[in-house]
Structure 1
Amino acid sequence: MEYKNTILDAVGNTPLVRLNKVVPAGGATVLAKCEFMNPAGSVKDRMAMYIIQEAEKRGELRPGGTIVENTSGNTGLGVAMAAAVKGYKAVFTMPDKMSLEKINMLKSFGAEVIITPTDVPGDSPDHYVNVAKRVAQERNAFYLNQYHNALNIEAHERLTGPEIWRQTEGKVDAVVAGAGTGGTISGIGRYLKSINAHTRVVGVDILGSVHYHYFYTGTLPTAYVYKVEGIGEDIKCDAFDPKAIDEMRQVDDYQSFHMARRLVREEGLFCGGSSGSAAHVAVELAAEMGPGKTIVVILPDSGTRYITKFLADSWMRDHGFLEPERGLGLVEDVLKGMSREVVSAREDEPVGAVVDRMRSAGVSQVPVLDGASVPRLIVHEIDVLRGLQSGKISSQSPIRAVANPIGGLVYPKARVEELYPIFNQDKVAVVVDASKLVGIIAQIDLIEYLSRRGR
């Protein structure tokens, strides 16, 4: 008889499946590594099992013990599955943007789930990572620490990387994977580079996360909220090893969700939104590399976590990712009626130069772009005034010294109704398309738009 002693023995050895319909003709072969077929539904099963086994070997985790971890859901599910089999207690902290499906799945394994606010800085005591550290200390529990645990990288260097090499018989020209903690792409990259230095390792980050900017500049930008789960981060992660990666590419929510839906509907791969992020880049890369090359793309988790989110048309419409059925129109409709130029500043520009530009354009706020021309911050007249008055800055100081995180980020296809929560906080809406700034909408712009519509 052929069987596994426990479900934990079924982790790994996920199949490679060729993508046929989403890859353009004449492109490279793209093989999807179906990590959503792991028993708890994601690539994180590998890392969770590996770290737990190492902790047991080292005596850091004993029978009947408690495991605490901060998670976007996937690592938690892998840990919760292992805890159920091995008899451990499990406690998880999660940001409140995560899907209800993930929360209920964790609880179904018998885990305790602590929900924390999403829109807080990485150094806040309410940030889900810091809450997990505090809970682990209070309960004398084993803290998995996936973001800063070297074993996260090691798990994929010893397990996932060799598996890809074996399955492709060494004929892999590039590998593409999203970066959350960074452990998956870093571990796979380390292994493949050690075997063939010419293998191209491409990491994928989501607009709003810090990885892309950190990879190219070595500095941490201000992060802001994005919708895709299981990719990106707002803190520096020790499990993210830039030396194992050749390049980083950035995608946005819109690109990620639409590609993920295509994978489900055209390829029959029931995967999550971050799979769309990685696949979007893999398809771009396939067109660039051309025929005769092979790309492996990691599809990290299952669509079962997102039934009520991006897989639901109503959710996609509500968040501006599909055309609305009715309402006040789209953000792009508001932009069409605006005649003023879009003014921005580079983060290293002197305050004086930015103020001159604001005066000439007749605007009271400007978005601040990073080195890749991605809007990261925003500065208002009052910010400059307070900085000069307090002596914090001079006219020669870089504008980033008085800039603040963007409070309201929307896409052109978002419903006009999405602007109201932004304006209720006395903020302006910064409109981006494919990670680039396309407009700024203030309350007066919406008033003029609605007046023209006769509302």
Structure 2
Amino acid sequence: EIYPYLTEGIGEDFLPENVDFSVIDYFEKVTDKDAALMTREIARKEGIFAGNSAGSAVAGLMQMKDRFKEGDVVVIIFPDHGSRYMGKMYNEDWLRERGFIKNEKLTARSIISKESNQDIVTIDAEESISKAISIIKSLNISQIPVTQQEMIIGKITESDILDALLENPSLKSHPVKDIITSPFPFVDLNTSIDKISSLINKENTAVLVENEQGKFKIITQYDIINAISG
């Protein structure tokens, strides 16, 4: 069957003179879309910067997985390099134009959907700075929203604590409210990732969003990177 295709070098391009069909047992057909998406998955999960022919080979193997049994050894040859496909399979605009990926913008909703269901960690304004340090250490986090009567009134960060203790070490026993700064910006679920990214800076290392259940979630720069990378 002859038809236009995007994967270069395989298909009806040409027939090499040294091909020997007698040693080929089976052919597996792979779509351009499946090949392109697998090429990106190989790079993301395995760190192998391969080209689309390699993606085709792995996609074909995955389609054939039911033909193999436990203990079988499979050898795949990756015949091309990803540098030839920077403007194609590694370009999301190119993929969207061809319908290979959905043309949708990431929002706060899609970012928090990738997170665990664990509730946000907060600290009451009357708690000690020492308690805040303990929470930061035990949970390996860098900032905590501060509450008063269950309302978020500010935040405390590692740098806030460091600056305060360098100036006055005795502040360790003081309440958190003595060194809190303005709260993280609030965004709604439909706020775009571009807008969220613009709100995160040296002063505001995160933003807060309320989910459908009325619980607050925190979005950091790491969460944005994680959402973009898939």
What TM-score does the superposition give when structure 1 sets the normalisation length?
Answer: 0.26
More strand by share: 1
Larger radius of gyration: 2
What TM-score does the superposition give when structure 2 sets the normalisation length?
Answer: 0.49
